[in-house]
Chains A and B, each alone.
Chain A
Amino acid sequence: MLLYFFFVLGIGFALKRYMKTSKDFFQAGRALPAWICGLAFISANLGAQEVIGMGASGAKYGLETAHFYGIGAIPAMIFVGIFMMPFYYGSKARSVPEFLRMRFDEKTRALNACSFAVMTVFSSGISMYAMARLIEALHVFDGLFRALGWPQGGIFTFSICLSALIVLLYIFLGGLTSAIYNEVLQFFLIVAGFLPLVLLGLKNIGGWSGLKASVPVAYMHEWKGMMHASTNPMGIDIIGVGMGLGFVLGSGYWCTDFLVIQTAMASHNMESARRVPLIAAVPKMLFPFLVIVPGLLALGLPTPHSTTVVRTENGVIYHEINVVPPEVEAGHGLIPAKVNPVTGKPMLDASGRPLLDYDMATPNLLLHYFPTGILGLGLTALLASFMSGMAGNVTAFNTVFTYDLYQSYIHKGASDRHYMAVGRWATVGGILLSICTAYAAINFNNIMDTLQLVFSFVNAPLFATFLLGMFWKRATGHGAFAGLITGTAAAMLHHGLTLPIEAHPGIHGGWITVLHHYPSDMAQNFYGAIYAFSANFVVAVVVSLFTKPYPESQLVGLVHSLTPKPSHEHLKWWKRPEALAVAILLVAVALNIFFA
């Protein structure tokens, strides 16, 4: 683990020498090869929400979680590579909000920049919180703390500060390049840490068929019961998944979130920029095996009722049998129940069953299978996943803050050196804010749901704006702005009026009054996204039709019908992005049929 930290910081220092202008710092000089950017593209997303959250959702909803990949991510990644990247990369915009200013106007950009800045801070705070909690639960630093005589309660704070410091240092030194390099490093580390876990777990439980036998039937099918909400574990029907996840949330995330787009924009030419999301889609298809299967395995293993430690002393064999604590006893498989920190008893949901702490599914499996040695690698992989998620958020935050807020509204026309310094300090500020969020993130059962909630407020309506902006030349700035506001308002209203079954009104929804019950919080999120998207779309179209259109000369390179198509005639047909896209789509469909 120390080795890893050493390398992470080493890359930061090695790259510091190359950081000469703000372009180097914020955009990696637009000079990175496509495969590096491609891996960073998914690695930026491979934070807490992915490794822990997907394991958690795997245990909670079963193989249906793979829809986040098959429907949520892959088509959106292909779409962004084929259709949207020419505008992002070709317009020479330095960030997603800047693209909005070129296409629409200043206020749309300001709105997007602000909401985006808040969101990145939120996400990286959640990453940090999850990591600190995990370190606490896995007793990584317990020995160190005992040796130094510090109180055990300080571990949470200590882990937060440590992770913040490391991420801060390497971004401060090497900017986006350093973040991207480290993301790729973390990508391989995560694979190296989780692949043996899945292999061992599958071997123990009796292979794929053994896993099938040990969890409920519905958990092993991606599509079974999708026609109606009451017949599958996620409690959502095909319209909710297809529209909500596939069209709105997935595209909203992969196509408009600067967090992932920034890595594609760092590549060295248009062809690679378009190929980046496509390259990323290939490993993305295989990731369900690494992150969802551990959750299923944890669910499928027998619940331990007692632990036996066998040790040999002077030829005598001792069997020490301990009864497990109540939270493990009340759990399911390797997943413990959530404990109320005040009473110390397992928490119950509205219908009296224990609330399971799904976030512990993957970490517990790690502890269950890995012996000393490789366990260190597994834990490092976990920590790496948190840091890569955090780092992506932080670099996105410093770019947007510097270009779209500071340079545009606070201090115009300063020297390049000045902006680079601002970027560095924005990094510090962003991380400090994330630390505050980390302490605020203690109220949720499933990190994934929290993130989806934030995305459905901000991101879901956003995709409608980009879609209209890129493919309808009549769309105007006023329309886009009004649409965004309505979309976000619609999302919040929807959240306030509905409640998932088995949840108490409050942070899970229903804070205005409960008009409708959803079978699960995922269903609530997906439908919220659909409403937000539709509200934005309708309002943007209506307002655009009533306002003055932009002259076409202003929109060249920004709107589909007015932009010359990028030509790849000089490339062999199988090297063109379109061919790659079709191949990926076919494999994705095949995987979905296989696991139907």
Chain B
Amino acid sequence: MNLDLRVPMGLMFTLTGMILTAFGLATRDNTALYARSLGIDANLWWGIVLLAFGIIMLTLGRRSQMRMAREEEKKGKTEIK
């Protein structure tokens, strides 16, 4: 299988994280919005967490895919499925 799941997964969380962080930053001063989450800017903080998670996944996935590609080259298998 040539598709490492971590790549699309990392991509998705990175994007989601970016959107949430941006939204959280933009609505930082809106106290009415965050009244229900106890005054914590849940979007901003959780956005940052997801962003970090996404980037880690993406890096790991990319690295292993590169390694797989190198190994295939070593074996002399140049065919691309």
CB pair B37 A370 closer than 8 Å? yes
Contact of A373 with B1 in the complex, beta carbons under 8 Å: no
Verify B34–A36 contact, CB threshold 8 A. no
Q: Kindly supply a per-residue 1/0 record for chain A positions 461-489, scoring 1 wherever the CB is within 8 Å of any chain B CB and 0 otherwise.
A: 00000000000000000000000000000
User: Contact between A3 and B13 (Cβ–Cβ < 8 Å)?
Assistant: no
Of A7-15, A91-99, A326-334, A419-427, the one contacting chain B is A7-15
What is the distance, in angstroms, from A40's C-beta to the closest C-beta of chain B? 10
Find chain B residues with CB under 8 A from A111 CB.
Answer: none
In the complex, chain B residues 10-57 whose Cβ is within 8 Å of any chain A Cβ: 11-13, 15-16, 19-20, 23-24, 27, 32-34, 36-38, 40, 42-43, 46-47, 50, 53
What mask results when residues 376 to 417 of chain A are scored 1 for a CB within 8 Å of chain B, else 0? 010000000000000000000000000000000000000000
**Alpha-carbon distance between A15 and B20 when the two chains are bound, in angstroms:** 29
Q: How large is the interface on A (under 10, 10 to 19, 20 to 34, 35 or more residues)?
A: 20 to 34
Which A residues lie at the B interface, using CB under 8 A?
Answer: 3-4, 7, 10-11, 14-15, 17-18, 29, 31-32, 36, 177, 181, 184-185, 188, 192, 196, 200, 203-204, 310-311, 368-374, 377
Contact: B12 with A196, CB < 8 Å? no
Tell me which residues across on chain A come within 8 A of B1, comparing CB atoms.
18, 29, 31-32, 177
Q: Would B37 and A200 count as touching, CB distance under 8 A?
A: yes
Q: Are A200 and B40 in contact (CB under 8 A)?
A: yes
A15 contacts which chain B residues (CB < 8 A)?
A: 3
Nearest 9 CB-CB pairs, A to B?
A: A373-B43, A373-B23, A7-B12, A374-B42, A371-B33, A196-B46, A374-B43, A371-B37, A181-B5
Nearest-neighbour CB distance to chain B for A231, whole angstroms, equals 36
Contact A310-B32, Cβ < 8 Å, known A370-B42, A373-B27: yes
**Which one, A31, A32, A200, A377, contacts B16 given CB within 8 A?**
A377
Determine the distance from Cα of A136 to Cα of B59 in the docked complex, in whole angstroms.
39
Known: A3-B15, A11-B8. A371 touches B81 (CB 8 A): no
- Is A373 in contact with B24, judged by CB distance below 8 angstroms? yes
Interface of A is mostly: helix
Q: Say yes or no: B5 contacts A377, CB within 8 Å.
A: no
Which residues from B are CB-within-8-Å of A181?
5, 8
A370 to B15, CA, bound (A): 20
CA distance A203 to B3 in the complex (A): 40
The dominant DSSP class at the B interface is helix
Q: Which residues of B contact A29 (CB under 8 A)?
A: 1
Cross-chain contact A204 with B38 (CB below 8 angstroms): yes
User: Please, which residue of chain A has its CB at the minimum distance from the CB of B45?
Assistant: A196
- Known contacts A177-B1, A373-B27, A374-B46, A185 near B12 by CB under 8 Å: yes
Shortest A190–chain B CB gap in Å is 13
Measured in the bound complex, the distance between the Cα atoms of B23 and A79 in whole Å is 47
Give 17 pairs: A residue, B residue, CB < 8 Å, sorted on A. Answer: A3-B12, A3-B19, A7-B8, A15-B3, A17-B81, A18-B2, A29-B1, A31-B1, A177-B1, A181-B5, A181-B8, A185-B12, A369-B42, A371-B37, A373-B27, A374-B20, A374-B42
- State the Cβ distance, B65 to closest chain A Cβ, in Å: 13
Tell me if B16 and A371 are in contact (CB < 8 A): no
How far, in angstroms, from A36 to B6 measured CA to CA in the complex?
10
Known: A200-B37, A369-B36, A374-B42. A192 touches B50 (CB 8 A): yes
CB-defined contacts of B12 to chain A, threshold 8 Å: 3-4, 7, 185
**Contact A203 to B27, CB < 8 A, known contacts A188-B13, A371-B33, A377-B16:** no
Residues on A with beta carbons closer than 8 Å to the beta carbon of B40:
200
* B38, A196: Cβ atoms closer than 8 Å: no
Taking the closest CB of chain B, its distance from the CB of A350, in whole angstroms, is 37
Q: Given A192, A204, A371, which contacts B34 in the complex, CB threshold below 8 Å?
A: A371
Closest A residue to B23 by CB, please name it: A373
Could you tell me if A370 and B13 are in contact, using CB atoms closer than 8 angstroms? no
Distance between Cα atoms of A281 and B68 in the complex (Å): 29
Does B9 lie within 8 Å of A3, measured CB to CB?
no
For residue A188, which residues in chain B have a CB less than 8 angstroms away from its CB?
9, 13, 53
Q: How far in angstroms is the closest Cβ of chain B from A193? A: 9
Write the nearest CB–CB distance from B21 to chain A, whole angstroms. 10
Q: Given the interface contacts A29-B1, A192-B50, does A10 sit within 8 Å of B42 by beta carbon?
A: no
Known A3-B16, A184-B9; judge A371-B42 contact (CB<8 A).
yes
Q: Please, which residue of chain B has its CB at the minimum distance from the CB of A372? A: B33
Q: Which residue of chain B lies nearest to A10 when distances are taken between CB atoms in the complex? A: B8
